[in-house]
Structure 1
Amino acid sequence: MTPAELASLHCAAFRSERSWSADEFAALLQSPYVTLTARPQGFALIRTIAGEAEILTLAVHPDHHRQGIASLLISDWMAETTAQRAFLEVAADNHAAQGLYRKHGFAQTGRRRGYYKRSDGTMVDAVLMTAALPCGQGAESPRTP
């Protein structure tokens, strides 16, 4: 997927929040520590440094929700990562995503009050989640160009 395609899908998936631009995706993809896991109609962007992975964003087009795409993205990434631990933040009102992450071994470890600002101005907490990755083999190396 190109940065423009990622931005378009991200915009569709996050209608009530500020979506990321093609330039932001392009900049992230320049990092040797950021990986993209993609399937038709969805993607996950993950940064891995020193054995820890952060799921930066996971997006599935709304027309394809509840089809298992997000779960496949996480499974694909977990099968490839060498990270030993993963973390993420998710909106407190996004119960479907929290259930998805729990299914993959994530547990709530904290909360950031009023972290997300919706397009209507309301503020929503971020739920912090962490998972141990038993298949991790140590710190992930930067990608080679």
Structure 2
Amino acid sequence: MTPADPALLARLHAQAFAAPWSEAEFADLLGQAGVFAVVEPDGFILVRVVLDEAEILTLAVRPEARRAGLGGRLTGRGAVAAAQAGASRLFLEVAEDNVAARALYDRAGFRPLGRRKAYYAAPDGGRTDALVLSLDLAADPEKPALP
């Protein structure tokens, strides 16, 4: 896998999120063992693998490129790469009110595990719960249930 450019990831993340991560934060994450990015021109997925578990750290798609299958494609490629790195389960947190992301992860076969109360800061200053989801990669690591 080609090393990811922290500056590019920061630019894409800033286009996708109101509270983007910095280039330094991406450089730090990419310098950690087991962290990798799958990058396409309009988005990326950042994954961390530790032993037999993996976590999606972030998935960013430029607003102009949404609803065209890129999020599903990135999720699928990230899941396959995590399985190839030895992960049998893939986890993530998603804001309870992020309907589009929840639909994408549901189509991909992720199932709910729990809830983190008041995990995300909301734009209005409030807090939003995060849903903890997981995907079983062990069933068929080459073909996760993805769009």
Q: State the TM-score bracket (shorter-chain normalisation).
A: 0.7 to 0.9
Query: Which one is further off, 89-98 or 128-137?
Result: 128-137
| Amino acid aligned to 1:72 | R
Measure, in 2, the Cα distance between the counterparts of 1:50 and 1:70. Answer: 25
Measure, in 1, the Cα distance between the counterparts of 2:118 and 2:35. Answer: 27
Match of 2:56 in 1: 55
Measure, in 1, the Cα distance between the counterparts of 2:39 and 2:112. Answer: 25
Measure, in 1, the Cα distance between the counterparts of 2:79 and 2:93. Answer: 17
Tell me if structure 2 keeps the 8 A contact 1:44–1:57.
Answer: yes
Measure, in 2, the Cα distance between the counterparts of 1:77 and 1:116. Answer: 23
Match of 2:93 in 1: 89
* Cα RMSD (Å): 1.4
Match of 1:73 in 2: 74
1:44 pairs with 2:45: yes
Measure, in 2, the Cα distance between the counterparts of 1:37 and 1:135. Answer: 20
Structure 1 residue 67: Cα displacement: 0.8
Tell me if structure 2 keeps the 8 A contact 1:84–1:135.
Answer: no
| Amino acid aligned to 2:93 | E
- Residue identity over aligned pairs, in percent, reads 44
RCO greater where, 1 or 2, for CA within 8 Å and sep 6 or more? Answer: 1
CA-to-aligned-CA distance 1:117-139 (integer Å, 9 cap, x gap): 123312111011011112349xx
Measure, in 1, the Cα distance between the counterparts of 2:73 and 2:35. Answer: 19
Measure, in 2, the Cα distance between the counterparts of 1:120 and 1:44. Answer: 27
Consecutive unaligned residues of structure 2, counting only runs of 5 or more, are 143-147
Measure, in 2, the Cα distance between the counterparts of 1:80 and 1:4. Answer: 22
Measure, in 1, the Cα distance between the counterparts of 2:70 and 2:81. Answer: 17
Match of 2:105 in 1: 101
Structure 1 residue 4: Cα displacement: 1.4
Task: Give aligned pairs, total.
Answer: 135
Q: SS of the residue aligned with 2:14?
A: helix
User: Normalising by structure 1, what TM-score?
Assistant: 0.87
